[in-house]
A and B are shown apart, each in its own frame.
Chain A
């Protein structure tokens, strides 16, 4: 399975959820659980029920494909699984939306249509068909995006649908920092116990 590949543009100092180490054993899972719980408490759960969820996708210069998942302009879908599929339903890649609702994928080796699906839980699911995606340089070993790198070519983001960070984004970013500090403290305390 490939690593989740997401991007965060505004909170460049804070790594996105995609950059967290993947759990490989029970110890990692034990660390991840309290961190996720902490983040969930700080960031707040996704709004339930009445809101519809939407996902929008676009291709950037250089071939990278980005998605934005949202309930509304100021209310992003965070921490939700985003799948990139072929029109026939073959899963090509997966990622998790960052605090700003964004999730980017590497350029694809072939030109064609791509379907993006976000699953925000509690029946919140949306999909978006991006036709005519152009092929681009690919490297499976390199993540599609890293914090501080807006695109593979280094060019600025082409079409960020929502340019202004909201207060919630900022508070969410602080939540990430607090959560990561908690992760570090927890790891240190376990090491001491060991």
Chain B
């Protein structure tokens, strides 16, 4: 028996429990806050990724890629260019910001079948870029299939601030929605988690579909509100459930140390 337990212990040390890697759609602009003309030509990276460990999956050409601004939309899909990162298919778009305001970029991917979970995954992915100090309408839903609507201005957050969002599917709040959260450490970097269970953090929304989270470190954080709308999609003649996700990427800024006043 002692030998058996030793074997189990050794096995668990050598082969840590399967990492809970959450799937995240990603749309990351080159700038989340645009304050000078020199940074107004945005590049947008689109991926299907495990952000914290920075491992990718292939992203098929999305079904839609749209920018929302000032009550209007523009189709950015024709301008998407295919690329490769870590040998995986990724996409890149461009958008020139030409006036102040809030810009929401939304990717609707094609359904992805996850064998391990025996379900389709369909994550509507949103990110905001704020230009020249105007963040009007940041609290307004865009009206997409699934989305997280910020209750905190998404462009003005420091690491350590609380972020609150409301989960909507088909325009209706989702009580007790589960929201998976991951940090993206940046290109060519991976996060360090003391335990695999800390790679993806999870919060649960309250009865009004509202959740809260405090980001402990600056950078991009992805919030994936997961739900089902009861619909199925076929695979090899069999109907499989579809996981609907509303993903929002939020940038948390680092609070810089104080400077002495001039002349003091």
Contact = CB atoms under 8 A, between A and B. Distances in A.
B99 A161 contact: yes
Interface centre among B38, B70, B133 (most CB of A within 10 A): B133
B37 interface: yes
A74 B136 contact: yes
Interface in A145-190: 159, 161-163
A72 interface: yes
B101 A54 contact: no
Interface in B114-153: 132-134, 136-137
A72 B100 CA distance: 10
Contacts of A159: 98-99
B99 A56 contact: yes
A68 interface: yes
A interface, over-half SS: strand
Contacts of A129: 36-37
A70 B133 contact: yes
Contacts of B137: 73
Contacts of B100: 54, 56, 68, 70, 73, 161-162
A52 interface: yes
A126 B133 CA distance: 11
B136 A73 contact: yes
A46 interface: no
B139 to A, nearest CB: 13
B248 to A, nearest CB: 22
Contacts of B133: 52, 54, 56, 70, 126
B134 A70 contact: yes
Interface of A: 52, 54, 56, 58, 68, 70, 72-74, 126, 128-131, 159, 161-163
